[in-house]
């Protein structure tokens, strides 16, 4: 990075998109642990909700941090994190329901694509 890139302030849209992605990522991690741990420790253990939720939450948090640093790869990480729960639901034969907060984070991140490096 050059000193000029560090001195340039992060646009407010990028900051909002990154903050929303991190908040939704942390909430997804907490929900994955709250729902997934009892399912994984039962008589018939099911690990898929835990694994999918942790991957999606960690990915959204990572994407949000990359957005704060104005990296375009952050949008791609958010897209992958948004798609993981949907694809896993389709694979096991359940209806694909998207999370509205993940979708909002994705749309805000994608809307700021031109302001990223």
Residue-wise pLDDT tens digits, 75-91 = 999 999 999 999 999 99
Find out whether 102 and 53 touch, Cβ atoms under 8 Å.
Answer: no
- CA angle centred on 60, ends 72 and 69, rounded to 5°: 40
Tell me how far apart the alpha carbons of residues 44 and 70 are, in angstroms, rounded to a whole number: 44
Task: With cut-offs at 50, 70 and 90, classify the pLDDT of residue 4.
Answer: low
Tell me how far apart the alpha carbons of residues 22 and 68 are, in angstroms, rounded to a whole number: 10
- DSSP letter at 92 equals T
Measured torsion, CA atoms of residues 33, 37, 39, 42, in degrees rounded to the nearest 10? -170
Q: Is the model's pLDDT at 2 over the cut of 90?
A: no
Q: Is the model's pLDDT at 1 over the cut of 80?
A: no
Percent of the chain, pLDDT > 90? Answer: 88
- The owner of tokens 């949000």 is 64
């Amino acid at each position: 990075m050059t000193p000029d890139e560090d001195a340039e302030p992060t646009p407010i849209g990028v900051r909002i998109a990154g903050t929303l992605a991190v908040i939704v990522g942390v909430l997804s991690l907490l929900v994955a642990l709250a729902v997934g741990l009892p399912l994984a420790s039962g008589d018939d253990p099911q690990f898929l909700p835990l694994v999918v939720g942790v991957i999606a939450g960690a990915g959204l948090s990572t994407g949000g941090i990359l957005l704060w640093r104005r990296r375009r790869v952050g949008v791609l990480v958010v897209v992958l994190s948004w798609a993981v729960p949907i694809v896993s639901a389709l694979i096991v034969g359940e209806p694909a329901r998207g999370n509205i907060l993940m979708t909002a984070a994705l749309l805000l991140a994608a809307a700021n694509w031109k302001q990223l490096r």
